Structure 1
Amino acid sequence: MTFLETILEETLQIFKKEGIEANSEEQLIQKLDIRESTYNEMFKSKTDLVKATVLFDLETQEREHVRILANAKNPIEEIMLMLQDGLDNLKTINPLYYVDLQREYPDIWKICLDHLNSYSYHQISDIINRGIIQSLFRKDVNLQLVTKIILEQLTMILNPVVFPPDRYNIREVFRSVFLYYIRGICTEEGGKMAEEFFSRINNK
């Protein structure tokens, strides 16, 4: 890991633990334990730091997805492992991270949405399509529509207007929306696999 990647990883952990706006630029420099001159060589502003950190996070997630999916035996397990990873991540992220990102950095939040609509769309669509071919997902599933619904559900879950983090546990919202929806598009065989996976998640 390069020095820049180390700084971005540390920044990401601060943002996800405390929220983006919890610290000023000066406080971040202090917490990162680097010289102000070094910081200024790497980032033009706090917005530039946030953008670099978010892009680093998206790239890291893509590498992690490759690792996760390598352990799956079938498309049901693939999508369930992806959901489980999402649940585990949300458990460790302060909801203020997403609130700050959407409210204070809309252009950077748009990068996240664009990533969903390109990388995530094709990934989910491919998994569901292979599940249909293997008779684990229903053959009458509208592939494009179902993929779009899953992505829109994720955007909805992360919208602080729809689910204010002070009133709702985002991890529980995630579970309630996605786990039951996925089960609904499964065949009988796929549903049994999904139920077994749900049971393992609930017993953790």
Structure 2
Amino acid sequence: MTFKETLLDEALALFQQEGVEANTEPELRSKLDISQATFNELFASKASLVRETVLHDIEKQKKHHLNITQNAHSAIEEILILLQDGIKNIKVTNPAYVTDLQQHYPEVWEIALDHLNTYSYHQIYDILNRGVQAGEFRKDINLQLVTKIMLEMVGLLLNPQTFPPDRYNLSEVYRSIYLYYIRGICTDSGSKVAEKFFSTYNI
């Protein structure tokens, strides 16, 4: 791992813990323990740091998802592993991280949304398709529509006007949105796989 990648990891952890706007650029440099000269050499501005951090996070997520799903025994287990990971991430991420990106860095937020609508769309579609072929998801589901609905649920979850983070536990919202929906598209055999997973991991 390069020095810059290490720095982006540290910046990501800081943003997810405190939000993006909690620290000014000088405060960020201090917490990242780098000089202004080093910062200027690597990043054009704080906005540049935020953009590169989000891009770095996207690439990390891709590798992480491959790693955590490689031992899944079925399509439904694979999608539930991703769901469980999403719940875990939301629990440890300050809601201000998302709202700061939405409000202060709309171009960066668009990058995150584009990731959902391209990479994540194909990822979910492929898993659902394999689940249908295996008899775990109902054969009468519209794959394109169900995939789109599942992605739109992410937007619903992350909309602070719909679910203000000071009023709602976002991980519980995540659980309520996805787990019950997934049960609805499962076959009887798929439901048994899902129920076993829920009870084993206590999502």
Bin for the TM-score computed over the shorter chain: over 0.9
Q: Hey, what's the Cα distance between the residues in 2 that align with 1:154 and 1:181? A: 13
Within a 5 Å distance, the mapping from 1:81-96 to structure 2 comes to 81-96=81-96
Aligned residues: 203
| TM score, norm. by length of structure 2 | 0.99
Q: Per-residue deviation at 1:69?
A: 1.1
RMSD: 0.7
User: Which residue identity lines up with residue 137 of structure 2 in the other structure?
Assistant: F
After superposition, the C-alpha distances for 1:19-67 in whole angstroms (9 at most, x for unaligned) are 0000000000000001110000111111100000000000000000000
After the TM superposition, list the runs of 4 or more consecutive aligned residues in structure 1 that deviate by more than 6 angstroms: none
Shift of 1:199: 1.5
CA contact (8 A) 1:17 1:93 kept: yes
Shift of 1:173: 0.3
Segment drifting more, 124-133 vs 190-199: 190-199
Partner of 1:102: 102
Q: Distance in 1 between matches of 2:200 and 2:159?
A: 28
Counterpart Cα distance in 2 of 1:20 and 1:40: 18
- Cα distance in 2 for residues equivalent to 1:49 and 1:161: 27
In the alignment, which residue of structure 2 is the partner of 1:195? 195
Alpha-carbon offset, residue 151 of structure 1 = 0.1
Once the two structures are TM-superposed, the CA of residue 201 in structure 1 deviates from its matched residue by 2.8
Provide, for residues 149-177 of structure 1, a one-character-per-residue CA deviation record: whole Å limited to 9, x for no partner: 00000111011111110000100000000
Name the SS of the counterpart of 1:130 in structure 2.
helix
Contact 1:179 1:198 in 2 (8 A): no
Q: Which amino acid aligns with 1:94?
A: N
Unpaired runs of 5+ residues, structure 1, are: none
Within 1, Cα distance between the matches of 2:31 and 2:74?
A: 43
Checking the alignment, whether the CA contact within 8 Å between 1:128 and 1:143 is kept in structure 2 is yes
Code of the aligned partner of 1:165: P
Q: Look up the equivalent residue of 2:115 and give its one-letter code.
A: H
TM-score computed with the length of structure 1 as normaliser = 0.98
Measured against aligned partners, the alpha-carbon deviations of 1:64-90 in whole angstroms (never above 9, x if no partner) come to 000011010010110000000101111
Q: Letter of the aligned partner of 1:128 in structure 2?
A: L
3-state DSSP class of the match of 1:57? helix
Tell me which amino acid in the other structure corresponds to 1:104: H
Which residue is equivalent to 2:13?
13
Q: What secondary structure does 1:91 align onto?
A: helix
Q: Between the two proteins, what is the percent identity of the paired residues?
A: 59
Matches within 5 A, 1:11-160: 11-160=11-160
Which whole-Å CA distance do the structure 1 matches of 2:34 and 2:21 have between them? 19
